[in-house]
Amino acid sequence: MIQPFKRVFESVIVGIEGSLQAVPPTIMLIILSLMAWQTAGRRAAMVVAGCLVILGLLAPEAWGLAMTTLAIVIASVLLCVLIGLPLGVLAGKNDRFEAFIRPVLDTMQTIPAFVYLVPVVMMIGIGNVSGVIVTIIFALPPLVRLTSLGIRGVNHSVVEAARAFGASPRQILRKVELPLATPTILAGLNQTIMLSLSMVVIASMISVKGLGNEVLRAMGRLDAGKAIVGGLGIVMLAIVLDRITQGLGRSGRDRGHRHWWETGPVGQVTAMFRKTK
């Protein structure tokens, strides 16, 4: 029963890690810097580029370990979104479900992270799949909570106006409530990403590879150099992901009342095409 799910999880993690490892470091640096420029502006792009350069210079193996950690974080966050976004929307629309899930989320956030390791290892075993599942359990609550908060925080007069114009409940959710709740939902996504990174070191205790495993090995050998490499690598990765995800929540006012395709590198390219025409 569990093995098919384990194989699916493992194929997703291996696919993401293989894609990240296949991209040369310089190309990856350019891609992530352009993403930061597009979402958060040039200053954020410079910060991201600087963090990635520091990450590459920490140690010869630091970049590869960072890509492995990034693959685990991406897999965990994608699954958190697939699970947490519908649960958050349902909690925001249904008072009974919100009252039911609130103590569950409280329990998930209160139990020490180490406690999650034992039952997961007993059912699935050690490895990256167990690490992803533990990370999902640990990082899911903020996304559910803030999605529910964002849906409940939408102005009721706007919803009533949409309903008066004949919009169906599905159209109201897709075209009114979710767009207005997007900044709050993205704040929850940002917290989920940060919690996923914080779980990396703890999950390394069940043979999860990456920078967290480097920190764990350094602790066992009292090797300060390896500990600094692993710790700083996680910090640099956290700054990169934080800048990119925070930029996603920028409002139109922050972009100078322009569409997203009119700013950043995409805006530069479109402006060049307009000039040539």
Q: Identify residue 227 by its one-letter amino acid code.
A: A
Give the integer Cα–Cα distance in Å for 68 and 81: 20
List pLDDT tens digits, range 222-275.
Answer: 788 888 888 898 999 999 998 888 877 665 566 565 665 567 777 777 777 776
Query: If we measure between CA atoms, which residue out of 124, 113, 32 comes closest to residue 70?
Result: 32
Tokens 């520091």 correspond to what residue?
54
Give the integer Cα–Cα distance in Å for 203 and 213: 8
- Domains parsed from the chain with CATH numbers: 2-249+258-271 (1.10.3720.10)
Average pLDDT over residues 74-84: 92
Reduce the DSSP state of residue 37 to 3 states and report it: helix
Give the integer Cα–Cα distance in Å for 193 and 197: 6
Average pLDDT over residues 168-195: 90
Average pLDDT over residues 110-134: 84
Whether pLDDT at 277 is above 80? no
Could you say which DSSP state residue 102 is in? Answer: H
**Lowest-confidence pick of 18-27, 72-81, 262-271:** 262-271
Query: If we measure between CA atoms, which residue out of 146, 147, 143, 148 comes closest to residue 98?
Result: 148
Query: If we measure between CA atoms, which residue out of 107, 181, 92, 195 comes closest to residue 144?
Result: 92
Any residues with CB less than 8 A from the CB of 247 and at least 6 apart, and which? 36, 38, 39, 40, 41, 44
Q: Is the pTM of this model over 0.85?
A: yes
Q: Where are the alpha helices (DSSP H) in 126-210?
A: 128-152, 156-164, 169-172, 178-203
List pLDDT tens digits, range 45-72.
Answer: 999 999 999 998 888 888 999 999 999 9
Q: Residue 251's pLDDT is what?
A: 59
